[in-house]
Amino acid sequence: MDPRVTVNFVCQRCLNPIQLEPAFSHLNEHTLAELALPIYCGEEVEFDPSEIDKLVPPLQLTDSGPHHHGFTLVGESGDTEKTQPLKVATGLFDLVSSNSDLDHPLCEECTDALLDLMDTTLSRTQTQAQLCHQLFASLSGMPETDVSALENELENLEMEEKRLVEELAEVEKEQKAAEKVLKRHEEEKKRLEEEEERYWREYCTHKSQLTAMEDENRSLKNQMKYTQGQLERLKKTNIFNTTFHIWHSGHFGTINNLRLGRLPTVTVTWQEINAAWGQTVLLLASLARKIGLKFSKYRLVPFGNHSYIEVVGENKELPLYGSGGFKFLWDTKFDAGMSAFLECQAEFQQHVEAQGPQKGCFCFPYRINKNFIEDNSNNSFSIKMQFNSEEQWTKALKFLLTNLKWGVTWASTLFSGTPGDTS
């Protein structure tokens, strides 16, 4: 078996196998020295494979086999004639690669692409050089500027720059301080907003309470005004005149529309007469209590239509109510009660006429003399029913009520400050 292994030189860009010219094996010293010079010095040229028209997929060394590629690499053999050309080519490629930014060898297509790229770079460089020459020519035609002035201006600008940098640092410092103040103010604003919300809630609550209190105050004022009006009306009201209305109805004297007396032509029921006597007793008892009068012999006991007079110290009751019908001559309790009442009224009249700074200024229209009532013409009318006509008795009762009405008027005038007080 042949120990030699056949391999190809491949392009260092596309890795396609290449075939070398025979002249590469026979180069003189001058050619080698010339090739040793740097191929390209300047900015790095980047080889863009996209500018190559045709790319050939690289061939792997393992694909190499016993076929025709134009050259072979011999292993360790003593055939110097055959290995010497390969060593020269290899050394030549190493020399060129060390003096260039590109590795060699290159195939024909990659070399053409590289040459096109270099032509483009050369054209661009020539254009830039031309522009630089034009700029230099234009600058050469400008008048010379004082260098010292430019240096002073540069120094001023540098100082201005330093000042602006310091101002910028100061502004940044102030900005940070302002941000802190702003943050503090925002916190204060948030707190004030919460306080404002709480204040408005409390304000609404107090406003509602105030409105309720104002309504209640107005209501109380209206009630007070109404009460004061009622009080003034009551102050001007005579409680005796209001409670005991004394008037007349024909020949009858009336108290609270109850007739007191009887006539042959007008029959008044005893229930009405008894009720009228009850009102009369209550009126005289109230007047006596009003002025602080205590009767000497009797005590009036108002008891409706069954009122009576109690004899002091005798435990005896004299009725002031009657029932009509047949009466015995000794049955005089009703007459005795009316006579006792007339004595009490006479005592009341004497007490009233004795009051005031000038005694005798107030006089009742009818005088009382024991069991009789006298008018201005000295006509006497008995208060008893026995041995008396109904007309005389009714007129005596009418005079009695008239004197009581005068007593009510006197009491109202005397106690005008407290007319409603009946205690």
Mean pLDDT of the region 400-405 = 91
Q: Which of 181, 202, 236 is the last residue of a domain?
A: 236
Question: Is residue 109, in this structure, part of any structural domain at all?
Answer: yes
Least confident of 53-57, 249-253, 255-259: 53-57
Query: pLDDT-derived band of residue 146, with 50, 70 and 90 as boundaries?
Result: low
What secondary structure does DSSP assign to 218-275, as a single string? HHHHHHHHHHHHHHHHHHTS-HHHHHS-EEEETTEEEETTEEE---SSS---HHHHHH
Task: Encode pLDDT of 154-186 as tens digits.
Answer: 999 999 999 999 999 999 999 999 999 999 999
How much is the pTM?
A: 0.47
Looking at residues 354-361, what average pLDDT do you find? Answer: 62
10 φ/ψ angles, rounded to the nearest 5 degrees: -120, 155
The contacts of residue 406 (CB under 8 Å, 6+ apart) are 364, 365
Strands 246-249 and 367-369: unpaired
pLDDT at 420 over 60: no
Within this chain, do residues 286 and 173 fall inside the same structural domain, yes or no?
no
- Domain containing residue 326: CATH number: 1.10.418.40
Q: Is the pLDDT of residue 212 over 90?
A: yes
DSSP string, 88-115: HHHHHHHHHHHTSSS-S---HHHHHHHH
Residue 334 belongs to a domain = yes
Mean pLDDT of the chain: 79
Higher pLDDT, 193 or 237: 193
Domain annotation covers residue 388: yes
User: Do residues 201 and 260 both lie within one domain?
Assistant: no
What does the pLDDT read at residue 173?
93
- Are 248 and 361 in the same domain? yes
Lowest-confidence segment of 35-39, 150-154, 160-164, 371-375 by average pLDDT: 35-39
How high is the pLDDT of residue 57?
42
pLDDT band at 137 (very low <50, low <70, confident <90, very high): confident
Q: How many domains does the chain have?
A: 3
Residue 4 lies in a domain: no
Terminal-residue alpha carbon distance, the chain: 164
Mark whether 245 and 388 lie in a shared domain.
yes
Whether residue 65 is found in the same domain as residue 37: yes
pLDDT of residue 2: 47
Q: Do the domain assignments include residue 1?
A: no
Higher pLDDT, 157 or 410: 157
Judge if 292 and 408 occupy the same domain. yes
Instruction: Report, as an integer, the average pLDDT of 122-138.
Output: 90
For 172-197, b/e burial (b = at least 16 CB within 10 A) is: eeeeeeeeeeeeeeeeeeeeeeeeee
User: Among 209, 236, 263, which residue terminates a domain?
Assistant: 236
Of 4-8, 145-149, 156-160, 216-220, the range with the lowest mean pLDDT is: 4-8
> pLDDT value at position 142?
63
Q: What are the tens digits of pLDDT across the range 48-103?
A: 555 444 444 443 333 444 444 444 444 444 455 556 566 666 766 776 676 666 77
Clarify whether residues 214 and 171 are in a common domain: yes
- Least confident piece of the model among 39-43, 189-193, 208-212: 39-43
Is residue 420 in some structural domain? Answer: no
Task: Evaluate whether residue 114 is within a structural domain.
Answer: yes
Rounded Cα gap, residues 76 and 378, in angstroms: 195
In the chain, the largest separation of any two C-alpha atoms, in whole Å, equals: 204
Q: Which of 322, 310, 340 is nearest to 385 (CA)?
A: 322
User: Is residue 291 domain-shared with residue 407, that is, in the same domain?
Assistant: yes
Contact criterion met (CB below 8 Å) for 382 and 396 = yes
Mean per-residue pLDDT, 225-250: 83
Higher pLDDT, 294 or 100: 294
Give the span between the Cα atoms of 319 and 310, in whole angstroms: 9
Residue 46 DSSP symbol: P
Query: Per-residue confidence at 423, pLDDT binned at 50, 70, 90?
Result: very low
Residue-by-residue DSSP string for 285-333: HHHHHHHT---SSEEEE-BTBT-EEEETTTTEEEE-----S---TT--H
Q: What is the mean pLDDT of the segment spanning 401-421?
A: 73
Q: Which domain, by its residues, includes 41?
A: 9-140
**What DSSP state is assigned to residue 143?**
P
* 301 and 332 part of one domain: yes
Chosen domain end from 236, 270, 295: 236
User: How much of the chain exceeds pLDDT 90, in percent?
Assistant: 33
Q: pLDDT (tens digit, 9 = 90+) per residue, 303-330? A: 888 999 999 888 888 999 887 654 544 4
Distance, CA of 333 to CA of 317 (rounded, Å): 9
